[in-house]
Structure 1
């Protein structure tokens, strides 16, 4: 499954989701739009409606393009700088297109899930 994120300015990132329970849970929630926010100087974040199921979800070693889930806070994070591992950070997938646009994403962002 893939996820395409497009903000109001037309910045777009496509992510190949992994086969983890957390990624499947995000797909099942099917949010059509989220509010993207900056966090620190290396990632963009948004909050799904419900916490994601972590069963069989690998820990993340976040690099540019990693889509992760930070379980303690319940936010999904998309990295535009290398970050590395962190306690509670899980891997949901990797950007396959538009990595250079991750840092530009902002505000209301459309989410499209597709095969």
Structure 2
């Protein structure tokens, strides 16, 4: 599924994968989210409801540009730097253009919409 992540007013295309957690996330859209920085590598925000972890991996090693879900804390995660493998991370999708990744480092707010 194609989505648009608007980072501090600038639209960025992204794609969700076809997994149960990604489909659950798509059902929550549209969302406007206030972001917090975590370890100078990712932006996180608590989701109002948890996503399915059915069929998801035990963990992942996200790359910059990945959109993920940290299941233990119920957080959406936007990665702007590569992160080592950690249990509980499920990759939901990816930003379409690597040139947009740098915007995440200073982002404080995003809007996520489905592209129809």
Q: Please indicate, yes or no, whether the TM-score normalized by the shorter chain is above 0.5.
A: yes
Checking the alignment, whether the CA contact within 8 Å between 1:31 and 1:48 is kept in structure 2 is no
Gaps spanning 5+ residues in structure 2: where? Answer: none
Distance in structure 2 (CA, Å) of the matches to 1:31 and 1:43: 21
1:12 to partner: Cα distance: 3.8
Give 1:47-86 correspondences, 5 Å limit.
47-58=46-57, 59-86=59-86
Checking the alignment, whether the CA contact within 8 Å between 1:70 and 1:90 is kept in structure 2 is yes
More strand by share: 1
Report the aligned-residue RMSD.
1.6
Distance in structure 1 (CA, Å) of the matches to 2:24 and 2:68: 13
Using structure 1 for the length normalisation, give the TM-score: 0.87
Using structure 2 for the length normalisation, give the TM-score: 0.86
Distance in structure 2 (CA, Å) of the matches to 1:40 and 1:69: 16
- Higher mean C-alpha displacement, 70-79 vs 95-104: 95-104
Gaps spanning 5+ residues in structure 1: where? Answer: none
1:47 to partner: Cα distance: 1.9
Checking the alignment, whether the CA contact within 8 Å between 1:80 and 1:103 is kept in structure 2 is yes
